[in-house]
């Protein structure tokens, strides 16, 4: 069961790093999406920092299980919140992307708990 854990963890960390970089670069489509969801643009850096911290925590969690669990739980909560925001905005066509990130974070958490 140990082999899938680092593979899924690196994939989840890469996905969250990509999402964080996009938040830091603040392309216009991100700002437009935030406006449609009702989020202030000032949150962009904080949201990106949370994703980046989660990605680093996932990678550190390969060696230190408690950090991996904490990072996975944090990312699960983050993306549950993201899905709630999309639902609140009634923009259901955009629910797929945070759902994929939630799936990755949940898979990482479940594998980490099974490996520990």
pLDDT digits (tens, 9 = 90+) for 66-82: 999 999 999 999 999 99
**Quick one: angle between helices 4-25 and 65-88, nearest 10?**
50
pLDDT tens string 81-97: 999 998 988 888 888 99
Global pTM reads 0.90
Closest CA to 6 of 100, 75, 107, 79: 107
Higher pLDDT, 92 or 57: 57
- 2 pLDDT band, cuts 50/70/90, is confident
Sign (positive/negative) of CA torsion 49, 36, 90, 88? Answer: positive
Q: What is the average per-residue pLDDT within 6-34?
A: 91
**DSSP assignments along 13-49, one per residue:** HHHHHHHHHHHHH--HHHHHHHHHHT--GGGHHHHHH
| Spans of all domains in the chain | 4-115
């Amino acid at each position: 069961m140990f082999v899938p854990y680092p593979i899924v963890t690196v994939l989840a960390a890469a996905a969250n790093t990509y999402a964080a970089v996009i938040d830091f670069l603040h392309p216009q489509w991100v700002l437009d999406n935030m406006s449609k969801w009702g989020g202030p643009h000032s949150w962009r850096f904080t949201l990106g920092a949370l994703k980046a911290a989660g990605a680093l925590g996932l990678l550190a969690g390969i060696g230190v299980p408690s950090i991996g669990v904490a990072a996975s739980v944090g990312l699960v909560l983050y993306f549950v919140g993201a899905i709630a925001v999309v639902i609140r905005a009634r923009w259901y066509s955009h629910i797929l992307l945070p759902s994929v990130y939630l799936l990755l974070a949940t898979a990482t958490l479940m594998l980490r708990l099974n490996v520990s």
